[in-house]
A and B are shown apart, each in its own frame.
Chain A
């Protein structure tokens, strides 16, 4: 009785037999997809509450076994890794928004001297890039290796994000900036007091995306940091959950010294599950509330 691809209704056209089958098939398939996506998470959760040596039940918990969590939460230093990651996001996101936003705002002014060369300066970096090894070399030269700042600084500015921000700023009423200028405010004041507060939605979306990026990044910690105390969460997880590939072991020995991987033990698999759960829970808990912003962010980005 429905009908129309756009999800709107048109009168009362009856579904034909074939179309009914199609609808049924559609629902079945989508449910199957959702199940397949969810079941592995679910299994990991129940497995983490199970005794590693008992017979495993795949759909429910046989006997609640919390030792896994005791171990993971108290003995492994995961707390520090969490702290580092939280700090990383707390410092990195505002930094990114401010720096990228400020540059974006600067470029919205068409009367800026040297505007074109500056734009070219940034555009070039979208096509040319040094690569892994040169970046490592540069970080070494700058003394950033093995410091907290290597987790925050290199990714702080992104031309792509700047372009999106610039477009959004240009969408604001023109008179605003001029009014500020007339009142004698410097551009900095205008940026901080007028532009930023008015762009909250866009900043929230961009900030959220970047937060997820930072939260999930394992690469910087794996290759640029030797000090265990500075490892962010995902890098920390790699060591325990993925046990490292041959590359990891070699890399660890090379960069961190032969005693590095004392964690060279095989992690019992239920411990691994507990690790996974402990890392994913924050995201799962927070995500439903933020989904709106993420989707908006994608659409903003795609329009550009």
Chain B
């Protein structure tokens, strides 16, 4: 008797549940309408390109585009291990990213510390506003300005300055060796000011009593910074650090594409530029997609590894 009774309720509940689900769906229908555009757009512009990655495994034909037939010899598109330029591009990208990182990561922190020291309110705001502005100007314009200031054929202030010292004029923008330094300087100008916002906010959150106590103990400026300020903003620094690592493999297409010219092309050859050249220019869509796929996977691996390491050494990561 009891077993029969126990059996019965689940059956009825199943039907009830199904009905419940439909009713719930119907009641929430306007909610789904709200989310529909977002879902569609994501499908079109995120998932479809992911499907497009399969192009890496196909025999591309211009007429068929995405519908091209599957490649008979898949490794056809993956010959980049033999392509010397591939390795050059890969290493060059890492080199540029690493050097940029070394200069560009600490800079906002240092600047934030310095700005924080300023006691005159108006001056502080002025400096902040001035350093924030370049962030809002596009790379096209900043590159344009850099060309005007640094290249030879213009009436360049830099060359005028050099002339005062009796030195020969130089064209820094057309100089392969100067490309990386130019990248760093322009990136600093553009981003260092804006980067201080988060750090300044974090610094202002530090409990003043810590400083009072330190001063009582006779700590001078440097000691205060070393023992209070820096440790207190360490969590923020760590998180930002982890967030930066995955971008190691994309050395900043926006900036590089605009700053380069035929003379510096070799120095500027990074992954995205290589993909654009090979793909959009030379029409080797299959190969270019394969490149993109490989770089993407490497990037993902980097992100996961960085997170794991962060979890291990600092106890917290991104997720």
Contact = CB atoms under 8 A, between A and B. Distances in A.
Nearest to B120: A27
B303 A127 contact: yes
Nearest to A208: B136
B147 interface: yes
Nearest to A191: B34
B110 to A, nearest CB: 10
A159 B32 CA distance: 17
Interface stretch (A33-41, A63-71, A198-206): A33-41
A125 B145 contact: no
| Most B C-beta atoms less than 10 A away, residue of A121, A127, A134 | A134
Contacts of B168: none
Given A40-B145, A40-B146, A287-B136, A121 B281 contact: no
B5 interface: no
A168 interface: no
Interface in B98-148: 111, 114-119, 123, 126-127, 129-134, 136-141, 143-148
A219 B273 CA distance: 12
Interface string A241-271: 1110111001100110000000000000100
Please provide the 7 A-B residue pairs with the shortest distance between their CB atoms, ordered closest to farther: A130-B49, A134-B52, A103-B38, A131-B292, A216-B138, A56-B155, A106-B35
A273 B157 CA distance: 14
B232 to A, nearest CB: 10
Contacts of A16: 220
B39 A118 contact: yes
Which secondary structure characterizes the binding site on chain A? Answer: helix
Interface stretch (B11-19, B40-48, B84-92): B40-48
B296 A129 contact: yes
A26 B114 contact: yes
A29 B66 CA distance: 56
> Size band of the B side of the interface?
35 or more
A188 B34 contact: yes
Interface of B: 21, 24-25, 28, 30-35, 37-39, 41-42, 44-53, 55, 65-66, 111, 114-119, 123, 126-127, 129-134, 136-141, 143-149, 153-155, 157, 160, 189, 193-194, 197-198, 201, 203-204, 206, 208, 211-212, 215, 220-221, 224-225, 228-229, 253-254, 257-258, 260-262, 265, 272-273, 275-277, 279-281, 285, 288-289, 292-293, 295-296, 300, 303
B157 A280 contact: no
B148 A138 contact: no
Contact of B140 (A109, A191, A237): A237
Contact of A122 (B37, B42, B65): B42
Interface string A97-114: 011101101110101110
Contact of B138 (A44, A112, A133, A218): A218
Contacts of A41: 145
11 contacts: A47-B148, A56-B160, A99-B41, A128-B300, A187-B30, A189-B30, A223-B280, A241-B141, A272-B144, A291-B129, A298-B194
Interface in A194-230: 212, 215-219, 223
Given A19-B221, A129-B50, A223-B280, A137 B141 contact: no
Nearest to A235: B140
Contact of A43 (B31, B117, B139, B148): B148
A201 to B, nearest CB: 17
Contacts of B253: 219
A264 B63 CA distance: 31
Interface string A1-20: 01111111010010010110
A140 interface: yes
Interface in A24-58: 26-27, 29-31, 33-34, 36-41, 43-44, 47, 56, 58
